Amino acid sequence: MGLIPDEAPPGPARPEFWRSPVRSTWLTTSIGLVLLVAIVIVSVTGFLSHAAYQPDLGRNALIPRDLDLQLFVVPWPTSPSWLYAATQGAHVTVGLVLVPLLLFKLWSVIPMLFRWPPPTTPAAALEKLANLLLVGSALFQVLTGLTNAQLFYPWHFNFVVAHYYGAWIFTASVVFHVVTRVPTMRAAYRTRNEILGLADDPLRSPDPGPTTITRRGVLGVMGAAAGAVAITSVGQSAGGPLRELALLAPRGRGEVDGPRFPVNKTAAVAAITPEMVGDAWRLQVMAAGRAVELTRDELLAMPQRTERLPIACVEGWSTMQTWTGVRLTDLARLVGAADPASMHVVSLQPRGAFKQTTIGRAQVRDERSLLALAVGGVELPLDHGYPARLIVPALPGVHNTKWVATVEFA
Ligand SMILES: Nc1nc2c(c(=O)[nH]1)N[C@H]1C(S)=C(S)[C@@H](COP(=O)(O)O)O[C@H]1N2
Ligand SMILES: [Mo]
């Protein structure tokens, strides 16, 4: 006998400790396949969100570009205008659905965590480590995403940076896991071990308790739990009658018509004072050495355009609003920038990552992109960015800078 006794100590390391009659490789495989579909949606929409931020422009990047593993970033289009509302709505909704799916999956394999003997060979140790990385990164991603979407963020690290690096670890772990598990998954289905009590299935209890639910019943309960989470959150981005059901979305409900839609950061929180936005306010418009100063009345005297465009926050909520203001292309023409490649916007806001943004060629030149002066037919409320804010189709809400002070075309 070596250092590790052959016989497991009493408790969870013994197979007979686990008595659920439904655990089996077939059940775990079935849960895993549902989970995999959800993970693919969450991963793809997550990396799309990173692209939508357009980290290559100006000072948009929150992750230093040389430490950013996404080597190329697809140019983000401006149509359909609800594109980011849809991709990010899917990301957050399916991310929330991951909570019940992950709990079912972890429950189905929990005996493996205590399996005796502990790993003794390098290969077995590596497998254990890979599983810990997989479960750890899954829980990390879901927990940070969940708290961010709930506007409750107790962690002392930057959400975007942590969630982004976590995503790479998680995605790599999932790929490794799926690739190494394919033979087990195929065997579980081929031998239909749901029905045949295969003796060598390590997930089957050797001493099962009385049957209270079938394996298909477990899948049904899991589906119902996932559906319940989806129906109480998807309304924050899908809108319509589902909006009233979005109980899990802190900013998803309430009045959405007219200017009383959710506020991401109030003027008070952003340290915007009445003096800053009073009569002395001027918009600075700049391009290649030329600069023009405009009062709000002068902006109102320019051609006014009205567009239906969404605000779609990374937190998952979105709202379609009717904006009125000056076209960005009209502002560009004022300073002789007929063909701008990008536009840098700075807010009156003294501090914070969201006080400035850079938007790309497609966004600046889109006829629907506005410096908005009104929303829902009334003057822009202070909390929504009075005297003027940016509103651009299909970009993440964070690029729709409020309380604009300067715009510079490049
Ligand atoms: N100056 C400034 N603009 C800003 C922000 C901010 O914090 N400061 N928040 C952004 C974010 S993250 C979002 S989602 C939208 C929300 O707009 P709303 O508060 O009018 O709904 O504003 C964007 N514009
Ligand atoms: Mo946001």
Ligand 2 centre from 318 Cα, in Å? Answer: 9
Which residue from 92, 264, 314 has its CB within 8 A of the most atoms of ligand 1, so it is best to mutate? 264
Ligand 1 centre from 196 Cα, in Å? Answer: 57
For residue 253, the model assigns a pLDDT of: 63
Distance in Å from the first CA to the final CA of the chain: 75
Question: Is residue 334 helix, strand or coil?
Answer: helix
402 within ligand 1 shell (Cβ under 6 A): yes
For residue 279, the model assigns a pLDDT of: 96
Ligand 1 centre from 295 Cα, in Å? Answer: 22
Which residue from 84, 389, 400, 406 has its CB within 8 A of the most atoms of ligand 1, so it is best to mutate? 400
Position 215, amino acid = R
* Gap between the Cα atoms of 144 and 148, Å rounded: 6
For residue 196, the model assigns a pLDDT of: 78
Which residue's CA lies nearest to atom 4 of ligand 1? 401
* φ, ψ dihedrals at 35, nearest 5°: -60, -40
316 within ligand 1 shell (Cβ under 6 A): no
CA distances from 173 to 29, 151, 239 (A): 17, 28, 34
H-assigned helices in 114-158 = 122-149
321 within ligand 1 shell (Cβ under 6 A): no
Please count the other Cβ atoms lying within 10 Å of the Cβ belonging to residue 258.
Answer: 12
For residue 152, the model assigns a pLDDT of: 86
Q: Count of residues for the chain?
A: 410
Residues 6+ apart with CB under 8 A from 48: 74, 87
Please count the other Cβ atoms lying within 10 Å of the Cβ belonging to residue 324.
Answer: 20
For residue 259, the model assigns a pLDDT of: 72
For residue 317, the model assigns a pLDDT of: 94
251 within ligand 1 shell (Cβ under 6 A): no
Token couple for 183 = 């033979």
* φ, ψ dihedrals at 344, nearest 5°: -105, 130
Q: Which ligand is nearest to the CA of 310?
A: 1
Token couple for 135 = 């479960």
For residue 257, the model assigns a pLDDT of: 59
266 Cα nearest atom in ligand 1: 19
Cα Rg of the chain (Å, integer):
26
* Gap between the Cα atoms of 161 and 112, Å rounded: 32
DSSP-derived secondary structure for 244-281: GG-TT-TTTSS--STT----SS-TTTTT--TTTTSTT-
Output the tens digit of pLDDT for each of the chain's 410 residues. 467 888 999 999 999 999 999 999 999 999 999 999 999 999 999 999 999 999 989 999 888 877 787 766 778 999 999 999 999 999 999 999 999 999 999 999 999 999 999 999 999 999 999 999 999 999 999 999 999 999 888 999 999 999 999 999 999 999 999 999 999 999 999 887 777 777 789 999 999 999 999 999 999 999 999 999 999 999 999 988 899 899 988 886 655 556 778 898 999 999 999 999 999 999 999 999 899 999 999 999 999 999 999 999 999 999 999 999 999 999 999 999 999 999 999 999 999 989 999 999 999 999 999 999 999 999 999 999 999 999 999 999 999 999 999 999 99
How buried is residue 136: exposed, middle or buried, by Cβ count under 10 Å (0-12/13-18/19+)? middle
For residue 215, the model assigns a pLDDT of: 96
Residue 66, CA atoms < 13 Å, CB-side half-sphere: 0
Which residue's CA lies nearest to atom 9 of ligand 1? 398
Ligand 2 centre from 397 Cα, in Å? Answer: 5
* Gap between the Cα atoms of 306 and 387, Å rounded: 17
Supply the pTM of this predicted model. Answer: 0.95
* Gap between the Cα atoms of 196 and 388, Å rounded: 68
398 within ligand 1 shell (Cβ under 6 A): yes
Residues 6+ apart with CB under 8 A from 231: 242, 245
For residue 269, the model assigns a pLDDT of: 96
401 within ligand 1 shell (Cβ under 6 A): yes
For residue 347, the model assigns a pLDDT of: 98
* Gap between the Cα atoms of 118 and 128, Å rounded: 9
Position 100, amino acid = P
For residue 137, the model assigns a pLDDT of: 98
264 Cα nearest atom in ligand 1: 19
For residue 4, the model assigns a pLDDT of: 85
* Gap between the Cα atoms of 189 and 30, Å rounded: 9
311 within ligand 1 shell (Cβ under 6 A): yes
397 within ligand 1 shell (Cβ under 6 A): yes
